[in-house]
Chain A
Amino acid sequence: MLASRRRFLQATLGSSTLLSAGLTVPAFLARSAWAASSEASNPKGGLGENILVVIQLSGGNDGLNTVIPFADDGYGRNRITLRIADNQVLKLNDQTGLHPQMEGFKKLFESQRLAIVQGVGYPNPDRSHFRSMDIWHTAKPEREDKSDGWLGRTIDSDPREAGQDVPALHLGPNQLPLALVSQRTPVPSIESMAGFRLQTAGGALPLASLAQLAEAARPDSPPLLDFLRRSTLNAYASSAQVQEALKEERSEAAYPDFVLAQKLKQIAQLIDAKLSTRIYYVSLDGFDTHANQAPAQAALLNQLSASVSAFVEDLAQRGLQDRVMVLSFSEFGRRVRENASQGTDHGTAAPVFLAGGRVAAGLIGAQPSLGDLDGEGDLKFHTDFRRLYASLLDGWLGCPSEKVLGQHFEPLAIVQG
């Protein structure tokens, strides 16, 4: 961590013993397998220089109307009112195209900066929003274990010094996604940069006093109180760090006027401010289109495509696009046959998007057959999402995937070179 930032924190918080205890991996774990294996890519240890930005599409995005097998008869037969006409599909080749509102993604595809992994899912698909999202977040389809998430486990296995920049950051108004929950490191959520500022004007107690009150010795503190103490100190420290990182304004890139775009812009600023945060997480909600799907999904895909492409362009301008990978996923796709409300119900396999300067661009894997469906009439997956996670962990973040996922998964070729 930058020496100046360490001085800044020490000046604000004094030597916070609690902060040190809360955020350091115990010494006997410091020489983990990861530390050994990643020293080649990053001699200082810890997650390498690469950054992962995760965009969660909440509600179950209809993959079939996003990455469209327009040449397949089955598509038109099953989507009487929802079918996107041939002449509107943004064609990627003579079989597959994108939803008409995804011009941005088409440009990224053509400039070798977008990969589309098709047919992603997991065995025995669950069609409950919450259970399926939990599965994507924990990478544990076989049993319910919500003690931590795959990204939480990722940052826990990173031997880092106390007092560094937060390893992961969630930008959103909702609670911290399970994916980021870790056993040891409270990950901050921030709603907006302004709301992250602790008010100390007008005669309020200064940050140092508040921190001292939280830090005062509490012998035999029960676990819940201990969690609250550590979280409180983490909040004060993170607030100070983010304020520091945002003081400089360096880009002229144009972002569309969407909430998602504004969040991605803030991420670009934080990355450019040299925060050592390696994982950013945002969500886009509203994909649960049981009724009247067409306008709702069109608007959302437009927001996704325009925001991500603006983000990648901004990163390119800042010279950062080779260090950032964007992952966009949803908890399931939707059913092949549309329902009677011009919508679709919960389904199974769906495509996942990866964008960035070093992605192995193109279509990865085949469109799941519309003729050969599972017992419930849904698409059969062929690529387990954990293979995708393994590829990102080993091939992008420099973190041993077996530690995080509990077993070996055959990686996909998603990174160039």
Chain B
Amino acid sequence: MAAQSLSPNTPLAEIDPVWAWSPLTPAFRPWTRELAAHLYRRAGFSATWAELDEAVADGCHRTVERLLSRAPQSDSFYGEADRSVAALLASGNANHLSAWWLYVMLNSPQPLLEKLTLFWHGHFATSAAKVTDGRMMFAQHALLRKHALGHFGPLLEELSKDPAMLVWLDSTTNHKAHPNENFAREVMELFCLGIGHYTEHDIKDAARAFTGWELRKDQFRFNRYQHDDGLKSLLGKSGRFTGDDVLKILLEQPATARFLVGKLYRFIVNETVEPPATLLEPLAAGFRAAEYDMTWLLRTMLRSNFFYSPHAMQQRIKSPVEFAIGLLHSLEGSANTYALADDLRDLGQAVFFPPNVKGWDGGAAWINSSTLVGRANLVWNVVSDRDGRYNTRLALDCLPALSGLGDPAAISRRLADLLLAFPLPDAVYVQLAAVAADKISGNQLARAVQAIATLPEFQLA
């Protein structure tokens, strides 16, 4: 594949889609720390200095494979995590789940698995505000993680009968005489097809197909006495469809592959410019041929030329979770995740409590005066732990990145290389050096980190 010169202004419609999703060629961009840091931000939350070293040595292909694979420590880590959550759920209270998951995100040997679980959580957004039973919410969460890097078909089928989902969408009963349209609408609009690829009539007949789906004693049950087994027609097909049939029909629609690819593109690659359908078509076709295998899709995206082009790099805004977990991970620190969960809720992202069925819009939606002040305050809370809420364990002066450095300006620059890994304009380095050299008493290193982590650049994923 011939390398293609690309400027940030090249319209997306002019980019060859086949070239775009082919594996990165050195002639296009050599593999550097900057690219590795970008990969870690998108495929996880951030990279430590050692992770950047390792990624540069291994090259793009091996690093992506490592991120996609089950890590050697995964079994023991997740086994321990499951045991610890069982203790929390004994009370049945869902509020502990957010703190538990943030702990998992921060410490997992497989950050990509957590990132994709977060993606699906936004996609199948179900809120513990309505599904108050913690065990039910956790069961759904475990389903999402189980299928996160697997195939979409089984994920959709299991999730459609998941008790938390049925409660959330008011589908605990669906009677023959008065079909409940809510689940049918959301499964088409939000989970599979997107607006514009179905009609109100499709929804009404799909709702009839789902009649008889019930929740009894917190378990899914099919009540055949309430099932309308009459003829339905939807999406160009007719038959005495059951709910399972409708899901199969949805999985056959080309629109489904395109919709899911579009969502993952927005989550992983670029959320500032709507891509032309032609650009994503090879991904959608390949995804469908691979039976909606998420690992296939991620591998293709994360190794591609396009992913390392100016159209992807620095073209997302960090969600609150990415912002906080990324900061802590890069600084090799830990914090009280209960306090963190509260602060992330104030920034607009309470995991397990999505604002509505649509999940989190993301992008510029994260940014307003309140949340930017909140992010600045969170940074200071993390690095200084003034009021003890965070109980932060951070040893900034022991960071491997800073070993051997004494000059404040050099330290500042090195911290920028760790936390951003892309070049800043000279005027910014000058300001950072001024902050680092300022002899106000107190924690100079903390202030140096604060200066970088409050830069507009640090908001970029």
- Chain A interface residues toward B at CB < 8 A: 58, 127-131, 166, 170, 173-176, 186-191, 195-199, 201-205, 209-210, 212-214, 216-219, 222-225, 227-229, 231-232, 234-236, 238-239, 290-291, 339-341, 343, 345-346, 376
Is there an interface contact between B440 and A203, defined as CB atoms closer than 8 Å? yes
Residue B22 is within 8 A (CB to CB) of chain A in the complex: no
Question: Which B residues between 160 and 204 are near A, CB-CB below 8 angstroms?
Answer: 170, 172-173, 175, 177-178, 180-182, 185, 189, 195, 200
The reply to whether A222 and B8 form a contact with Cβ atoms under 8 Å apart is yes
With A130-B358, A239-B369 as known contacts, state yes or no: A341 contacts B170, CB within 8 Å.
Answer: yes
- Residues on A with C-beta less than 8 A from B459 are 228
Question: Nearest chain-B residue to A169 (Cβ)?
Answer: B369
The B417-461 residues at the A interface (CB cut-off 8 A) are: 425, 427-428, 430-432, 435, 440-443, 446-447, 450-451, 454-457, 459-460
**Chain A: minimal CB distance from B131 (Å):** 14
Contact B457 A195 (CB under 8 A): no
Given A217-B427, A239-B369, A340-B173: A195 touches B346 (CB 8 Å cut-off): yes
Q: Which residues of A contact B8 (CB under 8 A)?
A: 222
B366 contacts the other chain (CB 8 A): yes
Distance, CA A232 to CA B375, complexed state (A) = 10
Contacting A at CB under 8 A, from B242-287, are 272
* Chain B residue nearest to A209 in the complex (CB): B435
Chain B interface residue count, Cβ-Cβ cutoff 8 angstroms: 64
Query: Which B residues are in CB contact (< 8 Å) with A166?
Result: 369
Q: Which residues of A contact B170 (CB under 8 A)?
A: 290-291, 341, 343
- Residues 393-433 of B, flagged 1 when their CB comes within 8 A of A and 0 if not, give 00000000000000000000000000000000101101110
The closest CB in chain B to the CB of A176 belongs to B368
Q: Is the CB of A224 within 8 A of B317?
A: yes
- Looking at A189, A204, A212, A214, the one whose CB has the most chain B CB atoms below 10 A away is A204
CB distance from B158 to the nearest CB of A (A): 23
* Pair B189/A190 contact, Cβ less than 8 Å: no
CB neighbours of B315 from chain A (8 A): 224
- Which residues in B have some Cβ–Cβ distance to A below 8 Å? 8, 170, 172-173, 175, 177-178, 180-182, 185, 189, 195, 200, 272, 314-315, 317, 345-346, 348, 355-358, 361, 364-374, 376-377, 380-381, 384, 386, 425, 427-428, 430-432, 435, 440-443, 446-447, 450-451, 454-457, 459-460
Shortest beta-carbon distance, A231 to chain B, in Å?
A: 5
The reply to whether B428 and A216 form a contact with Cβ atoms under 8 Å apart is yes
The verdict on A196 contacting B369 (CB below 8 Å), with A203-B447, A223-B272 known, is: yes
Cβ-neighbour of A345 out of B181, B355, B454 (below 8 A)? B181
- Max chain B C-beta neighbours (<10 A), residue from A198, A216, A223, A227: A216
Q: A203 touching B373 by the CB < 8 A rule?
A: no
**CB <8 Å contact, A196 and B317:** no
The residue that B377 contacts in the complex, of A187, A198, A376, with Cβ under 8 A, is: A198
For A197, list chain B residues within 8 Å (CB). 373
| Residues of chain B within 8 A of A198, CB atoms compared | 373, 376-377
How far apart are the CA atoms of A214 and B8 in the complex, in Å? 23
Nearest chain B CB to A23 CB, angstrom units: 13
Provide the residues of chain A in CB contact with B377, threshold 8 Å.
Answer: 198-199
Quick check: A202 and B370 within 8 Å, CB to CB?
no
The answer to whether A218 touches B181, judged by C-beta atoms less than 8 angstroms apart, is: no
CB distance from B198 to the nearest CB of A (A): 11
Q: How far is the CB of B77 from chain A (nearest CB, A)?
A: 33
Measured CA separation A173–B360 after assembly (Å): 13
B180, B370, B451: which has the most chain A beta carbons within 10 Å? B370
Using Cβ atoms and an 8 Å threshold, which residues of chain A touch B457?
225, 228
Contact B456 A225 (CB under 8 A): yes
User: Residues of B contacting A176 with CB < 8 Å?
Assistant: 365, 368
Give the docked Cα–Cα distance between A189 and B374 (Å): 11
- A131/B195 in contact, CB under 8 A: yes
Q: A173-B346, A212-B431, A235-B369 are in contact. Are A199 and B374 (CB under 8 A)?
A: no
Contact B369 A186 (CB under 8 A): yes
Residues of chain B within 8 A (CB-CB) of A187 are: 368
Contacting residue for B425 out of A218, A238, A340, CB 8 A = A218
Q: Which chain B residue lies CB-closest to A181? A: B364
A91 CB to nearest chain B CB (Å): 31
Contact between A224 and B272, CB atoms less than 8 A apart: yes
Query: Nearest chain A CB to B323's CB is how many angstroms away?
Result: 12
Q: Can you name 20 extra interface pairs (CB under 8 A) apart from A166-B369, A222-B314, A228-B459?
A: A173-B346, A175-B361, A189-B371, A195-B373, A195-B374, A196-B369, A198-B377, A202-B386, A205-B447, A213-B431, A213-B432, A231-B372, A232-B372, A235-B369, A235-B372, A239-B369, A291-B170, A339-B178, A340-B173, A343-B170
Are A228's CB and B451's CB within 8 A? no
A216 contacts B430, CB within 8 Å? Answer: yes
Interchain CA distance A203-B364 in the complex, whole Å? 30
- Do B370 and A195 touch across chains, with their CB atoms under 8 A apart? yes
Distance A339 CA – B183 CA, assembled complex (angstroms): 14
**Cβ-closest 3 pairs across A and B:** A188-B369, A203-B442, A340-B178
Residues of B contacting A209 in the complex (Cβ-Cβ under 8 angstroms): 435, 451
Question: What chain A residues lie within 8 Å of B376 (beta carbons)?
Answer: 198-199, 210
Is A203 in contact with B443, judged by CB distance below 8 angstroms?
A: yes
Is B447's CB under 8 angstroms from A175's CB? no
- Write out the residue numbers on chain B whose beta carbons fall within 8 Å of the beta carbon of A217: 425, 427
CA distance A175 to B384 in the complex (A): 28
From B317, B368, B384, B386, A186 is in contact (CB under 8 Å) with: B368
Report yes or no: A205 in contact with B358, Cβ–Cβ below 8 A: no
Please tell me if the beta carbons of B173 and A341 are within 8 angstroms of each other in the complex.
yes
Q: Which of B272, B369, B447, B450 contacts A238 (CB 8 A)?
A: B369
Q: Is the CB of A340 within 8 A of B177?
A: yes
- How far is A188 from B384 in the complex, measured between Cα atoms in Å? 27
By a CB distance below 8 angstroms, the chain B residues around A225 are 314, 456-457, 460
- In the complex the two chains form, what is the Cα distance from A186 to B370 in whole Å? 12
Identify which of B346, B441, B456 contacts A229 (C-beta below 8 A): B456
Closest to B175 in A: A340
List residues of chain A with CB within 8 A of the CB of B272. 223-224
Residue of A nearest to B176 (CB): A340
Q: List 25 A-B contacts (CB under 8 A).
A: A129-B356, A130-B189, A176-B368, A186-B369, A187-B368, A188-B368, A189-B369, A191-B346, A199-B381, A202-B384, A205-B447, A209-B451, A219-B425, A224-B314, A224-B460, A228-B367, A229-B456, A231-B367, A239-B369, A291-B170, A291-B180, A340-B173, A341-B173, A341-B178, A345-B180
Q: How far is the CA of A339 from the CA of B457 in the complex (A)?
A: 51
Q: Which chain A residues border B368 with CB–CB below 8 Å?
A: 170, 175-176, 186-189, 231, 235
**Closest B-chain residue to A203, C-beta based?**
B442
Distance between Cα atoms of A189 and B368 in the complex (Å): 6
The minimal Cβ–Cβ distance linking B173 to chain A, given in whole angstroms, is: 6
Chain A residue nearest to B424 in the complex (CB): A218
When the two chains form the complex, which single residue of B175, B189, B454, B460 contacts A210, counting CB atoms closer than 8 Å?
Answer: B454
Cβ-neighbour of A213 out of B175, B177, B455, B460 (below 8 A): B455
The smallest beta-carbon distance between B340 and chain A, in angstroms, is 15
- Name the CB-closest residue of B to A219: B425
B370 touches A203 (CB 8 A): no
Give the Cβ gap from A184 to chain B, nearest Cβ, in Å.
Answer: 14
Residue of A nearest to B196 (CB): A144
- Tell me the smallest distance from the CB of A201 to a CB of chain B, in Å: 8
Q: Given A197-B373, A341-B170, check contact A214 B180 (CB 8 Å).
A: no
